[in-house]
Chains A and B, each alone.
Chain A
Amino acid sequence: MITEVSLFRTFLVVLQCDLVIGFRQRGDMLNPVVFFLMVVTMMPLGITPQANTLAGLAPGLLWVVALLACLLSLNSLFRADFEDGSLEQLILRPQSLYFVVIAKVIAHWLTIGLPLTLVAPLLGILLSLPAEGVVPLWLSLLLGTMTLSLIGGIGAALTVSLSKGGLLLSLIIMPLYVPVLIFGASSVRFAVEGLPYLGTLAVLGTFCALALILAPLATVGALKMSVQE
Chain B
Amino acid sequence: MGWQWFHRLGSPRWFYEKTSRWMFWLALVTVVLLIVGTVWGLAFAPMDSKQGNSYRIIFIHVPTAFLALAGYYVMAIAGAVGIIWQIKLSYMVMRSAATIGAVLTFIALLTGAVWGKPTWGTWWVWDARITSMLVLFFLYLGVIALQGAYQNGVTANKASAILALVGTVNIPIIYKSVDWWFTLHQPATLKFMGESSIDISMAYPLLVMISGFYCLYAWLMLHWTRAEIVESEQKTVWVRDLLKG
Contacts and interface: CB of A to CB of B under 8 A. Distances in A.
Asked whether the complex places CB atoms of A and B closer than 8 A, the reply is yes
B22 interface: no
Interface in A173-190: 173-176, 178-179, 182-183, 186
Contacts of B165: 218
Given A175-B135, A175-B138, A179-B177, 15 more contacts: A158-B162, A158-B163, A173-B142, A174-B138, A176-B167, A176-B174, A178-B178, A182-B181, A186-B181, A207-B173, A214-B169, A218-B166, A221-B162, A229-B152, A229-B155
Given A183-B177, A222-B159, A178 B135 contact: yes
B184 interface: yes
A222 B181 CA distance: 32
Given A159-B149, A186-B181, A179 B138 contact: no
A50 interface: no
Contacts of B163: 154, 158, 172
Given A175-B138, A182-B180, A214-B169, A161 B174 contact: no
Contacts of B173: 179, 207
Please indicate which of the listed interface residues B139, B149, B158, B166 has the most CB atoms of chain A within 10 Å of its own CB: B166
Contact of B146 (A158, A178, A186, A228): A158
B146 A182 contact: no
Contacts, number: 73
Nearest to B142: A172
B28 interface: no
A229 B143 CA distance: 18
A182 B177 contact: yes
A88 to B, nearest CB: 15
Interface in B47-97: 83
Interface of B: 83, 135, 138-139, 141-143, 145-146, 149-150, 152, 155, 158-159, 162-163, 165-167, 169-170, 173-174, 176-178, 180-181, 184
A186 B184 contact: yes
Contact of B174 (A154, A171, A179, A221): A179
A-B pairs, top 6 by smallest CB distance, nearest first, are: A172-B142, A179-B177, A175-B138, A229-B155, A225-B158, A182-B181
Given A168-B146, A171-B142, A178 B162 contact: no
A207 B176 CA distance: 13
Contacts of A158: 146, 159, 162-163
Interface in A20-65: none
Contacts of A178: 135, 174, 177-178
Nearest to B140: A175
A158 B162 CA distance: 8
Contacts of A175: 135, 138-139, 142, 167, 170, 174
Nearest to A214: B169
A173 B170 CA distance: 11
Nearest to B152: A229
Contacts of B176: 179
Contacts of A186: 181, 184
A172 B184 contact: no
A221 B184 CA distance: 37
A165 B184 CA distance: 36
A2 interface: no
A172 B170 CA distance: 13
Contacts of A226: 155, 159
Contacts of B180: 182
25 contacts: A154-B163, A158-B159, A159-B149, A168-B145, A171-B141, A171-B142, A172-B163, A175-B135, A175-B167, A176-B167, A178-B135, A178-B174, A182-B177, A207-B173, A218-B162, A218-B165, A221-B83, A221-B162, A222-B162, A225-B162, A226-B155, A226-B159, A229-B150, A229-B152, A229-B155
Contacts of A222: 159, 162
Contacts of B174: 175-176, 178-179
Contacts of B181: 182, 186
A178 B138 CA distance: 11
Contact of B155 (A171, A173, A176, A228): A228
Given A159-B149, A168-B145, A172-B146, A154 B166 contact: yes
Contacts of B145: 168, 171-172
